[in-house]
Structure 1
Amino acid sequence: MDPSAPHKNSFDDMLAATAPLDPIPTAVVHPCDAASLIGALEARDKTLITPILVGPEERITAVAKEEGISLDGVEIVDAKHSHASASAAVRLVREGKAQALMKGALHTDEVMSAVVDKVTGLRTERRMSHVFVLDVPAYPKPLLITDAAINIFPDLMVKADIVQNAIELGHALGVQTPKVAILSALETIYPKIPSTVEAAALCKMADRGQITGGLLDGPLAFDNAISRKAADAKGIKSEVPGDADILVAPDLEAGNMIAKQLMYLAGADSAGLVLGARVPIMLTSRADGTLSRLVSAALAQLMVHHRLGKDLM
């Protein structure tokens, strides 16, 4: 990829891609502050979601009144507290009334504890993982980074699911064969750095059909993954370096640092989803701005319609 190529606003393209799609019914978990309530309603106004507000009705209506927001026509499912909100939202998905979840004013672990419950949750055969989608000014296309929020020290088989989840999101974004860079500290296999060995194993798993739909290469250091010049200097011959769509971090700490550095030092805009559950989950935080919330909703909408399209084939 030519680093001098003009930067396109990837998030504008994603929002534009949702224009012909129907909004997805979304359970908004405990939207009891202005940011989460406004974010959900703005996503509704952009026809990304049809929000179902799940939480203490009195608190939700009080926030709406304080902000001067009308809740006319918006469904509210009353729940006494945040844990009850999470359980009720998951139940809406299991009953087929919601196709996605959006986190409101509660802790991530409260949402995820309801999602991962072995009896009443939303588990599938695949491990759940988070994917950051970044619009980096210095990179000419969307950059997906995983996993920076869910799996702390994933083993090889968990990493295989992390990669597969990210590839599926890449497909939903219209990338026919996402290029996946498996990151480590170096580009050669060195047994004292286990992530280099796991990277090589993931690539061989892709060769054998255990991971499908993407083009994998690794281990790759970060510079080799995003710079063709750096890869050429190391003699790396592959289609992935310098043109990666997906960066797979060796662990959560590394992934989180990569994503946050790009946001705060490189001016990247961010959005993201948790994948691997029955439905996509938007883990927006209080620090997220309107654009992040809207694009996360757009990602969920694209993901749901992508899956529906596959089911109809």
Structure 2
Amino acid sequence: MIKNTTFAELKVGDTASIERVCSVQDLYLFAHVSGNTNPAVVPDQASTENRAVTAPFMWAGSLISAVLGNLLPGPGTLYRSQDLRAVSRVKVGDKVRASVRCVEKQAAPVAVFETRIEKLDGTVVAEGRALVDVPTERMTVAARELPTLILDDCDQFTPLIQRAKSLGPMATAVVCPDDHNSLGGAVLAAREGLIEPILIGSRAAIQKAAEAGGLDITPYKLIDAANGVEASAKAVELVRRGEAASVMKGNLHTDELLGQVVKKDGGLRSGRRISHVFVMDVPTMDHLLFISDAAINIAPDLITKVDITQSAIDLAIACGIEKPRVGILSAVETVNPSIPSTLDAAALSKMAERGQIKGGLVDGPLAMDNAMDVAAARTKGITSLVAGRADVLIVPNLEAGNMLAKELTFVARAEAAGLVVGAAAPIMLTSRADNDRARLVSAALAQLYEYRRRTGRAVPVPGTDTAKVAAE
């Protein structure tokens, strides 16, 4: 509860203060509210280092308003005037203290406050005086919980790309990259040091796409193929011969590529059912979200779901999650024989307990709300290390997974990348409509997954002692 100080109670010399750390989010919000997009005071969304950005002077000044309105005199206080002199600048990451001190009481309800903003080391940021109307009646109100604001500045993919770059480029068979998106994505991944592309498809069509997009493909090997099936077969053969370590889908139908991958003779079968994993960077979440299977297995049975779950865990570990929390989704969180997916979920959970699924914490059945929200799980009395904290979501069928992934993309503004896992090599199965960014992240996922498949461990974070040891 917040209680104000009335004019009758206010004394000269009364003080109050608050402390606040200047954050990147603060400056984005201030730019939205004020309309001030001066590049000197607005962080660069593409940068991972914004500590040198200067906060707008009035952002600091607005903290004075918070002290007067919340603390002294508190609720009911209204400004008459404010003068404030800038003394020094605030940078992102600085912690500042905003304080007020009553220096004069005039005719009711007017009072004068000395206002001051300083860093915790004593450096003065601003100082001045405020003239306010002090409330004359007692007011006690509950501290307000403001509506949640979602800033679309989340970027959890860049660290994955940086980790993948530390491995050096991976030879990748790019199948039918004969349109702008697929060829541009492959060239971008090559420029970023993630892949060494081997372009396979119609030579004339690929060269035409390169000319149209202003792309230089002369550094890359180009293998001519008459159609998508032939190009896919040649890509699979390159992997089998050890000349490529991964495959990237270009401008062709998924069935044409996967038909060659899953062939019993001459394909890339590994003994595990292949599946697809969406990796989502959701603005409302502080960690990546893995969703499987939303692209390949239409109505998987229990045995197929075991492979789907294991492969999703393996990819999550490859991306740096040491012990992924896996929620097996259904419409409800209790076992119901009338809903087959709840039976599968319960069986998968028990199989994980007994070591038939390794590397993650698996629990189910869980409904979407109690898989993702701790409060929802508590309300329903669910005690689980996974409920409310899931890193990986295993969906009951392709339809549910596809709708979930697309809802996150188009409603929650999540970024998505994906990878086909479970084959003898990772397959970047991006949509023909995906942009270069999605293809770049998918290439990073392929690098990280293949490294773990070969070594049994995740790629160390660049710059750490572990990374140096691994490189040596």
Higher deviation after alignment, 7-16 or 206-215: 7-16
Kindly provide the amino acid, as one letter, of the partner of residue 158 in structure 2: D
- In structure 2, distance between residues paired with 1:208 and 1:309: 24
Deviations 1:40-66 (A, max 9, x none): 000000101000001111221122122
Higher strand share: 2
Shift of 1:247: 0.3
d(CA) in 2 for partners of 1:92, 1:270: 28
Show structure 2 runs of 5+ residues with no match: 1-147, 458-469
More helix by share: 1
Of all paired residues, the percent bearing the same amino acid is 52
Instruction: Tell me the TM-score normalised to structure 1 length.
Output: 0.96
Deviation at 1:99, TM superposition (A): 0.6
Distance in 2 between residues matched to 1:34 and 1:150, nearest whole Å = 25
CA contact (8 A) 1:44 1:50 kept: yes
Q: Counterpart of 2:441?
A: 295
Q: 1:282 aligns with which of 428, 439, 452?
A: 428
Q: 1:193: which partner in 2?
A: 339
Contact 2:292 2:395 in 1 (8 A): yes
- Structure 2 distance, partners of 1:185, 1:68, is 49
Establish whether residue 37 from structure 1 lines up as the match of residue 191 from structure 2.
no
1:14-33 matched pairs, under 5 angstroms: 14-33=160-179
Partner of 1:244 in structure 2?
390
Q: Which has the larger radius of gyration?
A: 2
Q: 16-25 or 241-250, which moves further after superposition?
A: 16-25
Residue number in structure 2 paired with 1:223? 369
Aligned to 1:109, the other structure's residue is in SS state: helix
Q: Superposition pairs for residues 140-289 of structure 1, below 5 Å?
A: 140-289=286-435
Q: Which moved more, 1:90-99 or 1:283-292?
A: 283-292
Q: Does 1:87 align with 2:87?
A: no
Shift of 1:20: 1.4
**Correspondence 1:11 to 2:11:** no
Distance in 2 (alpha carbons) for counterparts of 1:24 and 1:166: 22
CA distance in 1, matches of 2:256, 2:335: 39
**Partners in 2 of 1:56 and 1:152 — Cα distance?**
31
Deviation at 1:168, TM superposition (A): 0.4
State the one-letter code of the partner of 2:176: H
Contact 2:168–2:194 (Cα < 8 Å) also in 1: yes
Aligned counterparts of 1:66 and 1:212: Cα–Cα separation in 2 = 48
Give the secondary structure class of the aligned counterpart of 1:182: strand
Structure 2 match to 1:54:
200
Task: Output one character per residue of 1:100-124: Cα deviation in whole Å (capped at 9) or x when no partner.
Answer: 1000010000000000111011011
User: What is the DSSP-based 3-state SS (H/G/I as helix, E as strand, rest coil) of the residue aligned with 1:196?
Assistant: helix
Q: Encode CA deviations 1:227-286: one digit per residue, 9 max, x unaligned.
A: 001000001111111211100000000010110101010000000000000011011112
Unaligned runs of 5+ in 1: none
Query: Which residue number in structure 2 is paired with residue 114 of structure 1?
Result: 260
User: How many equivalent residue pairs?
Assistant: 310
**Given the alignment, which residue of 74, 79, 85 partners 2:220?**
74
1:254 counterpart letter in structure 2: A
What is the aligned partner in structure 1 of residue 450 from structure 2?
Answer: 304
| Mapped contact 1:5–1:140 kept (Cα < 8 A) | no
Hey, which bits of structure 1, 4+ residues long, moved more than 3 A? 3-8
How many Å apart are 1:32 and its aligned residue? 1.1
Q: Residue type matched to 1:265 in 2?
A: V
Q: Deviations over 1:71-129 (max 9, x none)?
A: 12210111111110010001100110111100001000000000011101101110000
Q: Write the distance in 2 (CA, Å) between the matches of 1:307 and 1:83.
A: 27
Q: In the superposition, relative to structure 1, how do residues 235 and 5 fare at CA in structure 2: closer, same or farther (>3 Å)?
A: farther
Q: Deviations over 1:203-232 (max 9, x none)?
A: 111111111111001000000000001000
- Partners in 2 of 1:203 and 1:4 — Cα distance? 35
Q: Would the aligned equivalents of 1:181 and 1:247 in 2 still touch at CA under 8 Å?
A: yes
SS state of the match for residue 304, structure 2? Answer: helix
Give the Å deviation of 1:8: 4.9
Q: Is contact 1:8–1:141 with CA below 8 Å preserved after alignment? A: no
Give the secondary-structure state (helix, strand or coil) at the position aligned to 2:165. coil
Shift of 1:18: 1.8
Most deviating of 99-108 and 301-310: 301-310
Pick which of 10-19 and 211-220 moved more: 10-19
Alignment TM-score, normalising by the size of structure 2:
0.64
Does the residue aligned with 2:287 lie in a helix, a strand or coil? coil
Shift of 1:5: 11
Residues 104-160 of structure 1: CA deviation (Å, up to 9, x unaligned): 010000000000111011011100000000001111110000000000000000000
Is the CA contact (8 Å cut-off) linking 2:275 and 2:422 kept in structure 1? yes
